[in-house]
Amino acid sequence: MVRFTLTIVRHGETRYNKDKILQGQGVDEPLSATGFRQADAAGIFLSNVKFTHVFSSDLLRAKQTASTIIGKNKFCKDIVIQYDARLRERKYGIAEGRPLSDLKAMAKAAGEQCPSFTPSGGETLDEVRARAKSFFEFLCQLSIEEECQKEQAVLGMADNGLETLEGKPVFPLRNHCCGLELNSDTDKDTKMLNPNILVVSHGAYMRNWFGYFVLDLKCTLPSALKKSQLSSVSPNTGVSHFIINLGNGDVMKPEISCVCLNRDDHLADVNTENV
């Protein structure tokens, strides 16, 4: 069975987040001082996680967040962050650089609800979901290929009469996600999870991606999670964690389990404002 873990983090706060101004893809703002503190806190929160791959949106706020998180990591400070345009925020067209209230006014004038409204020059929700679907299928294929390589390596070692090493847990995050202890020695299902992937992206994009997981791929959710939380945008540097099983290596039929969604425990001591 091919199995991998996926940790998805929203970028830290920018000046425009604080002022409730839409950035989308056309406004490439850096992190604010608060945003860097949030990224530091997320990095400490995830510092014991042995990531095997790191992907980020190629927009500056996400790149800075990913770099800061990895800079705090005990195991993968030298890992190469791979930037992918498929992870960019939703494009808001003529609404970019303008207050969120303007987008709401445009939607009202068009007789539509704000989340589903597409301003001129912007992306539809279906287009955003197509990007998320493409990237997720890429991760699945990557995991399948690496599993094949691992099996070939194990066979090669066996042919040479060499002993294989016992698998080590690659997500040693204790007690942060809904009370689960993912690196427990008794947790047989998580000991050999590989790859262990970190993705840094954006709020509206992530909300759409999570909707794809739940509505299209029937992702299972923690019992304590309220459905209303699925429609909420992650807080800046909110952390979500998923376990993906691909069965017989079928990219089209993944089994996805959500361990935690948009967790922000690490921000308790960071001076932030709601965005």
Cβ neighbours of residue 267 closer than 8 Å, sequence gap 6 or more: 38, 41, 235, 237
Q: Which of 13, 29, 89, 147 is catalytic?
A: 89
Active site residue 166: no
Query: Which string of DSSP letters, residue by residue, matches 154-201?
Result: HHHHHHTTPPPPPP--S---EEEETTEETT-TT-GGGTT---EEEEEE
- Give catalytic status of residue 89 as yes or no: yes
For the chain, helix, strand, coil in percent to 5 are: 40, 20, 45
Neighbour-count burial for 125-139, b at 16+ CB within 10 Å, e otherwise: beebbebbbebbeeb
Q: Give Cα separations from 226 to 165, 222, 223, 230, 233 (angstroms).
A: 41, 9, 8, 8, 14
Look at residue 6 and give its three-state secondary structure. strand
* Catalytic position from the list 11, 53, 241, 266: 11
Distance CA 62, CA 118 (A): 23
Q: Do residues 64 and 39 lie in contact, with contact meaning Cβ atoms separated by under 8 Å? A: yes
Tell me the catalytic residues: 11, 89
